[in-house]
Amino acid sequence: MAIIKPSLVIGVGGTGYWILSLLKRQLYINYGVKASETDEIKFLLLDTLSEGTFEEYKEKNDESIIAEYQVNRGEYIHLSEPPEGFFNWADDPEKYNIPRYRWFRRDILKQYVQEDARWKLREGAAQIRQFGRMAFFFNINKIAAAMNDKLSKIKKHAGNATIPVWIFGSYAGGTGAGMMMDVAMLAKLIQEEYKHSVQNIGCFVLPEVYSDKLTTSIAQGYSGSGNCSVLPPKARKKSIKPRKLEKTIPAK
Ligand SMILES: Nc1nc2c(ncn2[C@@H]2O[C@H](COP(=O)(O)OP(=O)(O)OP(=O)(O)O)[C@@H](O)[C@H]2O)c(=O)[nH]1
Ligand SMILES: [Mg+2]
């Protein structure tokens, strides 16, 4: 399978899922590669949908795609809430009021999103990017372990070559748009910590793609483009020098 460049492909949110499935289908059709059975190219899907909801979603959305192309369990990370629920978590200052979450506008969110039901992430992040971003941080240990595991397997084929880390999603929702920059930063942290060599490449569809859906907000795409501001100013100008992984990932 030397024709395929060893790569890690990460999908975030519903659009990420679609792109991963279609890419797996193309790999199979073009190269006869069952993507889940090779270590040269690895897939990882991050979504807030609970595993049950995700299975239902696959059934509803993927009638034309056969099982071999579908994202399988080993490739899916469910970004779960804390045991007490996100809504209750956000009422405990000891949990949310810490420097790591200084970007989290709990004050605004509690004022405008008052229903407990909308804070339940298992159906998605309700197009709220801060919900998607928080879902990433709730599960950062799981995500980092999966990314490192997959990069280590790919490295056996890539040798010393830089491994592209593709990050696919949309700017139209909450899950993918909320965590895209953090996923890229985490890949860089893992590179430093575990001596991988990675290059991030992000591909995000704009909200116009979903303009036929009543819930889509074009303003989302515009404000989502401000996501790059999560990078420290120096990193935007020069090469990124991330902090040590253990300083970013909370102890269990
Ligand atoms: N009503 C409806 N809206 C859709 C559908 N597909 C996509 N959308 C809209 O497009 C947005 C972006 O889609 P995704 O890329 O799947 O969003 P996501 O990253 O999973 O984010 P969230 O679902 O908001 O957590 C969604 O939040 C929906 O508003 C659909 O089949 N029906
Ligand atoms: Mg979604």
Tens digit of pLDDT for each residue in 11-29? 999 999 999 988 988 888 8
Helix, coil or strand: residue 69: helix
In this structure, are residues 13 and 131 in contact, taking their beta carbons and an 8 Å threshold?
Answer: no
For ligand 1, atom 23: residue with the closest CA:
124
CA–centroid distance, 11 to ligand 1, in Å, is: 14
Would you place residue 56 in the very low, low, confident or very high pLDDT band (cuts 50, 70, 90)? Answer: confident
Q: Per DSSP, what are the bridge partners of residue 43? A: 9
Instruction: Please tell me which residue, 93 or 233, carries the higher pLDDT value.
Output: 93
In a domain? residue 165: yes
176 CB near ligand 1 (under 6 Å): yes
In this structure, are residues 11 and 39 in contact, taking their beta carbons and an 8 Å threshold?
Answer: no
Question: 63 pLDDT exceeds 70?
Answer: no
What average pLDDT does the chain have?
Answer: 85
Question: Where residue 17 sits, what CATH number does that domain have?
Answer: 3.40.50.1440
In a domain? residue 100: no
CA–centroid distance, 121 to ligand 2, in Å, is: 9
Q: Which of 85, 90, 89, 13 is nearest to 45 (CA)?
A: 13
In a domain? residue 246: no
Total domain count, the chain: 1
- Our mutation pick for probing the ligand 1 site, out of 210, 212, 220, counting the most ligand atoms within 8 A of Cβ, is 210
In a domain? residue 188: yes
Mean pLDDT of 202-227: 79
In a domain? residue 125: yes
Domain residues for 181? Answer: 7-80+121-237
In this structure, are residues 15 and 169 in contact, taking their beta carbons and an 8 Å threshold?
Answer: yes
6 CB near ligand 1 (under 6 Å): no
In a domain? residue 252: no
In a domain? residue 134: yes
Mean pLDDT of 2-9: 84
In a domain? residue 67: yes
CA–centroid distance, 4 to ligand 1, in Å, is: 31
9 CB near ligand 1 (under 6 Å): no
